[in-house]
Structures are given as structure tokens and as C-alpha cells.
Chain A
Amino acid sequence: MTGRWRRLVREPLVHFFAAGALLFVLYTAVGGPEQASSGEVVVDQARVEALRAGFERLRSRPPNHEELQALVDAWVEEEILVREARALGLQQGDTLIRRRLAQKMAWITQGTDVERPTEDELRAWWADHPTDYTAPATVSLRQVAYGGETLPPSAAAVVGSTAVPPAATVEGLPAVLQDADSAGLVATFGEDFATRLDGLPTGTWQGPIRSPFGVHLVLVTERAAPEVVPFAQARPHVLRDLSDARTAAAGEAAMARLRERYEVRVTSDAYARTVAEGTP
């Protein structure tokens, strides 16, 4: 396809005309204008007021006589078109209309506010979900980086001891890390280094530990186990999580109430088989 043709196919206006042509065919097939529905279009006071209010909301002033007349005319024509469209069943199978109706209904059905949690409820949620409010394990360490593939002999000599190691040959890396969690270790020294620290003895120089910067001597000075964050500190997160959970639960409950009123009957054997076998 040439670029120009491709562009034409993507053009919304082209889609519009194509859809229009299709509708025209459909329309004439079902009988044309003389056989379409007819009847009364009522313009009552409530309708006029609604149109007037809509105008005012947008323009911050009431419509004048001509503007009001134009609004009413437009509404009448829209009403007629909507009725004609309905008579043709154009709303059937329109996913946009379907989705919009579903949205509106879901909205009305649920309709209830999600209650703001009390302090006791927040505390209970915090106590019931300790893993969500646990600070990760941390490690404090000293490290000396030497680059290259192997430790220099003078550095290898201090492994297992607390002796002073030879000076680093790679600079720009922190010599001391305080209370670093896994994400912090990965950011500074990469994944492999972070993984290697697990289970490394504390209190003496260990190595070689490899990173993208070469080999290191590492002295783990302290480890802190994962710890549940005190409620006072965790409270903003607890509030957010419990509120989210309640909103989700309210949605689920509303849908469940609706579904209770329906029986779902699957008439597609193929689908029923798929469900039974758990295959796609």
C-alpha cells in the first residue's frame, strides 16, 4: 500500500462516509422514510427549563429568544433522529452504547459511600497484614573495591580478619553503607553483589565479592532483620490500603447482588468444554 492510500484508510472521515453509506443501504432496505416510525414529540415546560439551564451553565447567562428557539429545534430534531434510530434497532450491538449503559447502571447500583475507617479499624488492619507494613532487611557494611578479576594478594591476606585492607583502586564508590536495603544495594553495586551478601559472615573482611566494578572486600558490620513498621508511622499507608480494599469490596458486593438475580446459562458446548477442561 502506498503511504497516501494508507493514510486515506486511516482517515476518520472516510470511516464516517463508509459507515453512512452502509446505513443508507440498511435504511432503504427496511422501507425508507415513509415507513419509519411517527408520532408526537412533546416540548413540555420541564424540557424547556432543562435546555435553558444547560445553556446558562455554559454561557453564564440565560439564552435570548432566538437562542432558546434554536435549542428547542435542535432538541426536537435530535429526539426524532433518536426515535428513528431506535426504530431501526441501531442501538443493538453498539458496544459504546452498551458500555455506557453498563457504566451508568454500575454507578447507580453501587451508589453507596465507602465508609471512612475508624482508628480501631486501621489498627486492626495493620495488625492483620504485617507483611504489608514490614520494612525490609537491611545491612550495614564497609567495602573496598579493587577492580579486576581477582583480589590483589595483600587484600586476599586480610580475608577472615579485621586487619586494615589495602586502599581501594576503584574510587567513587561509598566506603561505608549504613542500613542499606536490597534495592539500595542493587542500585549501588548491582544484583550479583546484593545477592552475594546474603549469609555472608559478620564482623570480618570477606571476599572476593564480585560486582560490575570488579572485586571487593566487604565487612558486614550489622544486619537488621525485617521489621514491622510501628502503627503510627505506617498509618498513612494503612489508611490508603484499607480504603482501597473497601472500595474494591463495595464494587464486588454490588456486582454480586446483581448477579444473584440472574441465572447464567451457557449454551455453547465448546465454551463449556473449555471451562471444564481449563484449556483456552
Chain B
Amino acid sequence: MTTRRELWLLALIGAWGCTPKQPMTDADEAPAVAEAPEPEATIEKSPLKNAYFGELHIHTAYSLDAYIFGTHDNDPFVAYRFAKGEEVDMPGGGRKKLVAPLDFAAVTDHAEALGEYELCTNPESSMYSSEACEGIRGGDMGFFEKIFAGLATTPTKREVAICGEDGQACVDAISGPWGRIQQAANEANDPGNFTAFVAWEYSSNAPEGGGGMMHRNVIFRSAAVPDTVFSAFDGMGEDLHAFLEENCTGDCQVLTIPHNPNFYWGRLYWGKNSDGSEWTEEGLARRVKLDRLVEIMQVKGNSECQKGIGTTDEDCNFELVFDKCAPGENVGCSNDYAFVRNGLKLGLEHQASRGVNPFKQGIIGSTDNHNGTPSDTKEDEFRGHYGTNDMDPEVRLGLKANPTAEAMGMSGDDDPTKLYNPGGIAGVWAEANTRESIWDALHRKETFGTSGTRTKIRLFGGFGWPADAHAGEGWVKRGYDEGVPQGGDLSAAPEGQAPSFMVWSMRDPNSAPLARLQIIKGWRTADGELEEQTFDVACSDGGTPDPSTHRCPDNGATVNLEDCSISQDKGASTLATTWTDPDFDAAQHAFYYARVLENPVCRWSMYDAMKAGVEHPADLPKTIRERAWSSPIWYTP
């Protein structure tokens, strides 16, 4: 009898052998027989908008690091199938499907090594049999280190053993995978039912090393995209913006999404270019135009805020990866510039002093997993995110070495990966499930992020609303008619009036009920101080916020750590209120965003400890309070 492994091997090698690398489709053949997709114009639009959930940060086999980690079969085509609810194979065995299909997705493979991937996986390439390519196909982490280390040198240099001395072979090979990435998105896109965006990730390393990254996802509105990608081998993040401005014109429209401010070592919000040079006026304008959103939460940690770094907010300490930097330290720790909330505050300062806010970013969540499985975020089904490298629960729990972390220079006690999590989800409020509607919602920042559940959160800001404006049927229409939604701008407060906010959240029926709804305000005082305050504005279980502390009483929800069951009688399915800023000063720049906290549930590490039959590591939290964040609304005097 043939073993499964042998069969798999033979099948895999057969697939590499003589068939073209891309899956068999009709692209290279007779016209497609399938019925023409519905033209977008005929799709019904809801003017009051629906919530759509999706993934804008996912890696597949086409990301060479994912490939080396053992993600070989889940390519962009498979990733979209998973997003649409199909069951797919996991790297390292087993199959998985989402609890419910997603509404949209963008495969964001690293632009950096698309050519290297092609040369090493396409048997017709002259480099296929090279030692380097054999090493890559064999999962040799040394090549991951070498190739991604080449990004940290100045100037950046591609791996000579694959790309040649001048790197040209790898540059030339980009067109194959770039074409198939577009093909996969264009084929998966199904107006009215599922939206797929053409995208890539730009991934430059922070010069300090230590796993530091200054990355952005690049999301296109339509099938009109540049002829080739722009990667960290071609320039800095600021050069990426210039490239897009020059090469994405006409029908091409694009936005960029920085992620992991916590891993930028401060270089996202420090007020300079990523290499430390001074901003230019053109560069700033491009930043405002392109950096529309930021990922607040993903696999590699929460980047909202951290207690003790510009805030006293207790609820900030959630899925954090790093400790606060010691004086003089800057790498592998959290500094003042490492968080979205601080970035939003700094943006107010730039707005006041320069007249432009380069950090006016909406909020989303993502996974960034390297398994090709978009929004694969359930705590109880976590299987890691680095292919086969962390398929073992004991690796995820930090009880065994994580090869990915070691290769990134974060080994032993410096390895933070046990503090990672399954990642977040992106939400938008849009008129319809089409590329146009969803991309436009992303662009106007009418978005929200979650820590991995499908909790909805909605925020409107305006003036003159009564305390019960959120109650009753017409509140959404009122929000649009008389105010602005999340991501919007308020200004010119009427004399003597403070802005009011209608805020609403609905639980994910497949997660825990809601515990409390909050509004976070940041502002700049007359003497230039940047301040913030967190207000609990609606409490579950009949509670009301304490007027002096602005905190809800604890609703007493608990988790049974024996079997991970949760309180059945605590929490709310929806929370809503109308809140008016009690301390408003019409002369001050400010922002407001909403956050909702769920009742606690077991964290992935509890499920992993049970699966592995080991004691839960004492330094990891046993439970997690999942949450969602709305994009801010800004007030400019």
C-alpha cells in the first residue's frame, strides 16, 4: 500500500513537473463558458449601508517566507476559496473552513520575493535545481534569513544564488506570479456576493533589525493596476507612495495600509521619513492621500495603546507583544510612537502646527497569517500562522523554539511569538458588496476593526442631538443626514454646543455578549499638550457609568477554565447610546473613536494547553476580552 505521504509527494511533484504552475483554468483557452458576472450597476445598493467583514492582509505560498515555512499548496486561488467558505487543506495536515464566509478579501503576498518564489517553484526555470532553490523547497530557514536579511542591507540586495549578481533574473520573474495574483482576485470577485481586491504587501525591514518592520499593504480598487509591483528592494515606504502616484493613474485607484505600528520601532509615527530624513511637502501630501487606514490589531499583537505610554487606560493592556522601552532602548520594546492612539494624538499636533494631519487613519483589523487562510481567527481552532513552523501547540505556547522567530533574530527569551494571537478582522459600512462600494468605504474610512470576532460597531457624530437620538428607527438616516459617520470630519461647532455621538454595537452571534461600550477622546490643549480620556458610555446588565470615573460597574461575567464555558446570563446583544462630550472646547483639535468590549472567553493558549496536555504557561493570559474599534471622527476648529 502506498502511504499518504508518498502519494502526496508524487502528486505534488507531478503538479510541479510538466503542468503549468497556475491551476488549470480557462484563462489561456477558449472563452469562459461560465455565465457573465452580474454587472455592478444592477446590484442593489442600501443607502443606509450594511456591515461587511473581510480580510485585507493574508499571505499565501506566493510569499516566499510563507513558502519556506511550509505553506506550499495554499496559493492565492485557494485563499479566496477559503474566504468564500470552502474547506481547504492546512499546511501540516488537516482541513479547515470558516464559521461563515467572508464578504471580501485581498491576498497581500510580499512583493519582495515574488520572482524568487517563481524561479524556485517553477521547474522550467533555470534556477529550479540550484542548491538555493532546493533549500527553499526543503524549508531551509537559512534561506529565509538570507533573503530577508538582504532587505536590511544598504543598498538592499537580492540573493545572488537565485537572482544573479545584478538581481535581474528575479525582477524578470515577477510578472508570472503578479499576473496570477491578479487573475485569482479577478476570478474570485463576484459583485453582489464577494469582493476580491488585487493587492500586495510592501515589506521593508527597520534598520535596527530585531524583527522590526515598516510594512504597508497596497489595495487596488479595480482590475486596473500597475504593470509590476514595488518592493522594499526598490525603495523606502515613501518611495512606494511616489511609485503609486506615478504608476497608478487613470482607472487605477489605490490606498495603502500600514500595519504593526508596534513593530515599526517608532518609525511610523515619529514625524520623519522611515529612514530618519525630514518629511517633504510632497511626501506628506502622498501620505495623507494614500495611508487611509491602519491595522490596529493582527497576529503580531494589538497596536492600539499600552498603559504607561501616554495613557492610563486599563483596557489598553490587551494582547500586547512588547514591554515598555527602557530609557535609551528602542528595539523589541514599545516606545511613544508604537501605537495607533498616540499616532492619532500626534496627528492633531501636526494638524495644528502644519495644517495637515498625516496620521488621519481609519481603523481595521487583520490576521497577516502565512497559511493562506483569511480571517481564520477563532481562538478555539487556532493552528498557528507560520505554515508548519508553529503547527505544534507547544511551539505556539513558547515551550519549544519557534523557527520563524529564531530566523528573525528573536530567539530564546527574546522570542515574543507566544504573545501573538490569531489576529483580527476588518469591517466596513458600505452600500453593496462590490469592489467600488467596499473600496470607497475603505477610502473614506467608514471602517472598523475587531480582535477576531464579527462584532459590529457604528459611530456617528453631529451637533444638537438629544440624548435618545440613537433610539428608534431613523437613527442611521439621521446620522447621515445631520452628521458624519466614523472616518468623517466635524468642524465649526455651533456657539455653545458640544458634539454628540450616536454609537451602536452588536455582538457576534458566534462569540460572547457585549460588556461595555466606550468612547476614546484625544485632544490638543491650548498650550499644545496632547491629552486623552476613555469614557464608558453604555454598560450591559443595567449598569450606568460612574460620573466621576467614567467606568461601568463590572458585569460579573466569568469563564469556566475547566471547560471554557462562559456566563449565560451576563452581557448584552446590542449596546447603544447618544453621548455628548462633557468637556468640549471648540478651539481644540480632537478625535473620538468607539470601542466595545465583549465578555471574556478562553484565549487560544488555554485551548492549546488542553490540546497539548500541558500546564497553561503562567506568563500568558488565560482569557481574552474580544473587542471592536471604530474609525475615529475628527474635530478640527
Which A residues are closer than 8 A to B by beta carbons?
3, 6-7, 10, 57-60, 96, 99-100, 102-103, 106-107, 110-114, 116, 147, 170-173, 183-184, 186-191, 193, 211-214, 232-233, 235-236, 239-240, 243, 247-248, 250-252, 254-256, 259
Per a CB cutoff under 8 Å, which of A3, A187, A236, A255 touches B412? A3
A239 contacts across to B, CB distance below 8 A: 24-26
Q: Are A113 and B19 in contact (CB under 8 A)?
A: yes
Question: In the complex, A102 Cα to B24 Cα: how many Å?
Answer: 27
Contact with A along B6-37 (1 / 0, CB 8 A): 11111111111111000111100000111100
Question: In the complex, A102 Cα to B413 Cα: how many Å?
Answer: 38
Q: Are A110 and B13 in contact (CB under 8 A)?
A: yes
Q: Are A212 and B17 in contact (CB under 8 A)?
A: no
B72 contacts across to A, CB distance below 8 A: none
Q: Are A247 and B33 in contact (CB under 8 A)?
A: no
B35 contacts across to A, CB distance below 8 A: 232-233
Given A214-B573, A248-B7, A107–B17 Cβ distance below 8 Å?
yes
Q: Are B9 and A103 in contact (CB under 8 A)?
A: yes
A236 contacts across to B, CB distance below 8 A: 25-26, 32, 34, 187
Contact with A along B75-100 (1 / 0, CB 8 A): 00000000001000000000000011
24 pairs, CB–CB < 8 Å, chain A vs chain B: A6-B412, A59-B165, A60-B166, A103-B9, A106-B6, A107-B16, A110-B14, A183-B101, A184-B101, A187-B510, A188-B509, A193-B509, A211-B509, A212-B573, A213-B506, A214-B573, A232-B35, A236-B32, A247-B15, A251-B11, A252-B7, A255-B2, A255-B10, A259-B2
A103 contacts across to B, CB distance below 8 A: 9, 13
Question: In the complex, A250 Cα to B18 Cα: how many Å?
Answer: 12
A60 contacts across to B, CB distance below 8 A: 164-166, 168
A172 smallest CB distance to B (angstroms): 5
A52 smallest CB distance to B (angstroms): 14
A235 smallest CB distance to B (angstroms): 5
Given A59-B164, A251-B7, A232–B34 Cβ distance below 8 Å?
yes
Q: Are B33 and A232 in contact (CB under 8 A)?
A: yes
Question: In the complex, A147 Cα to B614 Cα: how many Å?
Answer: 41
User: Can you list the 10 inter-chain pairs with the closest CB atoms, starting with the nearest?
Assistant: A251-B10, A187-B100, A190-B509, A7-B412, A251-B11, A113-B18, A3-B413, A213-B573, A212-B509, A243-B24
Q: Is B456 an interface residue (CB 8 A)?
A: yes
Per a CB cutoff under 8 Å, which of B11, B23, B509 touches A240? B23
Given A110-B17, A256-B2, A189–B412 Cβ distance below 8 Å?
no
Q: Are A58 and B164 in contact (CB under 8 A)?
A: yes
Q: Are A184 and B100 in contact (CB under 8 A)?
A: yes
Q: Are B17 and A113 in contact (CB under 8 A)?
A: yes
Question: In the complex, A255 Cα to B2 Cα: how many Å?
Answer: 7
Question: In the complex, A268 Cα to B32 Cα: how many Å?
Answer: 56
Given A100-B134, A212-B573, A240-B24, A58–B412 Cβ distance below 8 Å?
no
Q: Are B19 and A187 in contact (CB under 8 A)?
A: no
Question: In the complex, A200 Cα to B165 Cα: how many Å?
Answer: 70
Q: Are A243 and B161 in contact (CB under 8 A)?
A: no
Q: Are A116 and B24 in contact (CB under 8 A)?
A: yes
Q: Is B481 an interface residue (CB 8 A)?
A: no
Give the contacts of B157-202 with A (CB-CB under 8 A).
160-161, 164-166, 168, 187
Q: Are B413 and A172 in contact (CB under 8 A)?
A: no
What residue in chain A is nearest B412 (Cβ atoms)? A7
Per a CB cutoff under 8 Å, which of B23, B164, B574 touches A172? B574
Given contacts A60-B168, A232-B33, 17 further A-B contacts (CB under 8 A): A7-B413, A100-B134, A107-B13, A110-B10, A110-B14, A111-B17, A111-B18, A113-B19, A114-B15, A114-B19, A184-B100, A186-B100, A187-B101, A236-B26, A236-B32, A255-B2, A255-B6
B456 contacts across to A, CB distance below 8 A: 172
- Max chain A CB contacts within 10 Å: which of B2, B134, B161, B456? B2
Q: Are B34 and A235 in contact (CB under 8 A)?
A: yes
Which B residues are closer than 8 A to A by beta carbons?
2, 6-19, 23-26, 32-35, 85, 99-101, 126-127, 134, 138, 160-161, 164-166, 168, 187, 401, 406, 411-413, 454, 456, 473, 504, 506-507, 509-510, 513, 573-574
Q: Are B573 and A247 in contact (CB under 8 A)?
A: no
What residue in chain A is nearest B2 (Cβ atoms)? A255
A147 contacts across to B, CB distance below 8 A: 573
A229 smallest CB distance to B (angstroms): 10
B17 contacts across to A, CB distance below 8 A: 107, 110-111, 113
A232 contacts across to B, CB distance below 8 A: 33-35
Question: In the complex, A212 Cα to B100 Cα: how many Å?
Answer: 16
Q: Are B574 and A114 in contact (CB under 8 A)?
A: no
What residue in chain B is nearest A149 (Cβ atoms)? B569
Q: Are A252 and B473 in contact (CB under 8 A)?
A: no
Q: Are A57 and B164 in contact (CB under 8 A)?
A: yes
B161 contacts across to A, CB distance below 8 A: 58
Per a CB cutoff under 8 Å, which of A3, A190, A213, A240 touches B510? A190
A193 contacts across to B, CB distance below 8 A: 509
A98 smallest CB distance to B (angstroms): 12
A173 contacts across to B, CB distance below 8 A: 506
Question: In the complex, A6 Cα to B398 Cα: how many Å?
Answer: 13
Q: Are A112 and B166 in contact (CB under 8 A)?
A: no
A163 smallest CB distance to B (angstroms): 21
- Max chain B CB contacts within 10 Å: which of A184, A213, A259? A213
Question: In the complex, A18 Cα to B11 Cα: how many Å?
Answer: 38
A100 contacts across to B, CB distance below 8 A: 134, 138
Q: Are A248 and B11 in contact (CB under 8 A)?
A: yes
Q: Are A57 and B126 in contact (CB under 8 A)?
A: yes
A58 contacts across to B, CB distance below 8 A: 160-161, 164-165
Question: In the complex, A27 Cα to B458 Cα: how many Å?
Answer: 72
A177 smallest CB distance to B (angstroms): 13
Question: In the complex, A24 Cα to B296 Cα: how many Å?
Answer: 54
Question: In the complex, A110 Cα to B7 Cα: how many Å?
Answer: 11
Question: In the complex, A186 Cα to B100 Cα: how many Å?
Answer: 7
What residue in chain A is nearest B129 (Cβ atoms)? A104
Per a CB cutoff under 8 Å, which of B7, B165, B506, B510 touches A255? B7
Question: In the complex, A259 Cα to B7 Cα: how many Å?
Answer: 13
B540 smallest CB distance to A (angstroms): 12
B507 contacts across to A, CB distance below 8 A: 212-213
Question: In the complex, A100 Cα to B168 Cα: how many Å?
Answer: 29
A259 contacts across to B, CB distance below 8 A: 2
A59 contacts across to B, CB distance below 8 A: 164-166
What residue in chain B is nearest A248 (Cβ atoms)? B11
- Max chain A CB contacts within 10 Å: which of B11, B23, B33? B11
A254 contacts across to B, CB distance below 8 A: 10, 14
